[in-house]
Every structure is written in C-alpha cells, then in structure tokens.
Amino acid sequence: MAVVKAISSRDNPLLVRLRKLAADPGGYRRLGEIWLEGDHLCSAFLQRGGVPAQAVITEAAWEEPRWREIAGRAAAVAVLPQTLMSALSTLESPPPIGFVVPWEGAGALAGGVPSVVLDRLQDAGNVGTILRSAAALGVEQVIALKGTTALWSPKVLRAAMGAHFGLRLVEGAAPEALDALGVPLVATSSHAPQRLHEARLPRPCAWLLGHEGQGIDSELLGRCALTVGIPQPGGEESLNVASAAAICFYEALRQRSLPDA
C-alpha cells in the first residue's frame, strides 16, 4: 500500500529534485531517476508493467477515484496544491499527476534485432518522433551514439508519447559498439541510385540516421551495407529526419511481411 504524504512547501526536497529534472535535459543521468509528467506517460508506463517509485498528484485530483487509483500504484504518493504542481510543470496546462521512476542506466546493446542508430541528432522533437515511429512499426531497439540529445529528457518523452517503454534504448554508444549489432546498417541518401521501394532490404536491419544539419558521419556511412534514396517527386531537397525515418521503418515492415523470395 502506498505511503501518502501531503506537501505544502516549495522547498520540499522532492520538489527541489523534480524541478532539477524538469529543467535539465540530462539531469536524470546524475540523479538516477526520471520525471514522467501527465496522465498519458504515467498510464503508458503502467501498461508496460512499470512500478513507479513516487507519484505526485494535486489535491483536487487526489479526491477523484480515477486519479487516486493511478497514483496508488506507486510506492509513495505526494499530494500537493495546484500551485506547487504548476511550478514543477513544463507544460502550458499543468497535469494533475506525474510519476518518478528509476532510470535503468545507459542500456546494453542487443544483437540481431531490428534497430535504429541515431548519429548526433539534436532536436528533441525529432528524436521523440523517431522513437514513436520505431515502436509503432516494428523497430525494437534505438541506439543513440555519443553526441545525440538525451533520450529521457522531458521534451523527448513528450514527443515519444510513451514509446520509450516499448523499446530497448541504448545511450552514449561509441561507433565501435555497432560491431555487436549483428545486422547490416542501412542509410538513406539523396544521391543513392537505388530507391527505397526498389531495394531488397536486409531482414532485419539497422537504420542509420544522421545529424539534422551535418548528416551521417563519413566513417559511419562507410560501415553501411546499403544506401537507398527516398523518391521526392515534389522536388524538395531533403526530408525531415523523423519523416524519413517513418518512411524507412514502414518499408522495412512491409518487406518483412512478404514471403521470402
């Protein structure tokens, strides 16, 4: 049964810690915990069998059976006024509930599974959207190379909308760690002569996605077994990296559903 405690001071140690987590994209690495803000993320965490260490809930929400039941899944519950929840929130409309969950560390790379490798991506919205597409389209593992934005930052969490909890996530990997993938690397390029839908993609494969401005590192590109182009008859120079990722994931999924030739 959850231990319930009322909090009325802004200087409470829990709230001080949560403000640090909310303000610092990589703060979870130092503090060893993650702040999940809002009903959607909390529910997604519970649906995947997660057990929160701490629930934080407003006084008004605590009076409602639905919210009380969700909060009660945590080992401890902090009940606080709306003003204190608003001071924690990074959202325009502060939510009634949030969870504190343990960060499981940088993660260990698994071989032989459909994957995506992120090479120094910087935009949290792009990274979160890629995670969401990966979870939806059969990519099991996301590997963030050194220099990629923090996977568990508040902005990435919001953009991914719960996808984190259905994926194997690896952070801060060095390029040489990709040797353990055991599946071919595939990249996209506007200069590739072979089009995505015409290529026979390896099953499984690991998609390599590069920095929004600089693209994929040349050394990494040299590791790729295949480079394909996405047709753009509209004449645009390039696609947003998250949009390109979703197209590639879907085509790989489509081809996996086909009988072997």
Residue 200, domain CATH? 3.40.1280.10
- pLDDT tens per residue across span 12-48: 999 999 999 999 999 999 999 999 999 999 999 999 9
If pLDDT is split at 50, 70 and 90, which confidence band does 90 have?
confident
- Cα distance between residue 109 and residue 170, in whole Å: 6
User: Do 93 and 125 have their domain in common?
Assistant: no
**DSSP code for 92:** S
CATH number of the domain where residue 28 is located: 3.30.1330.30
- pLDDT tens per residue across span 158-210: 999 999 999 999 999 999 999 999 999 999 987 888 999 999 999 999 999 99
pLDDT of residue 187: 96
> Would you say residue 261 has pLDDT above 70?
no
Q: Is residue 224 part of a domain?
A: yes
pLDDT of residue 232: 84
Give me the domain span that covers residue 71. Answer: 3-102
Q: Is residue 107 part of a domain?
A: no
pTM for the whole structure: 0.94
- Cα distance between residue 249 and residue 235, in whole Å: 22
- Cα distance between residue 86 and residue 82, in whole Å: 6
pLDDT of residue 234: 79
- pLDDT tens per residue across span 128-138: 999 999 999 99
Report, as an integer, the average pLDDT of 242-249: 97
- Cα distance between residue 101 and residue 35, in whole Å: 7
SS3 117: strand
User: Do 41 and 137 have their domain in common?
Assistant: no
81 contact partners, CB below 8 Å, separation of at least 6: 8, 58, 59
Q: Is residue 109 part of a domain?
A: no
Q: What's the number of domains the chain is made of? A: 2
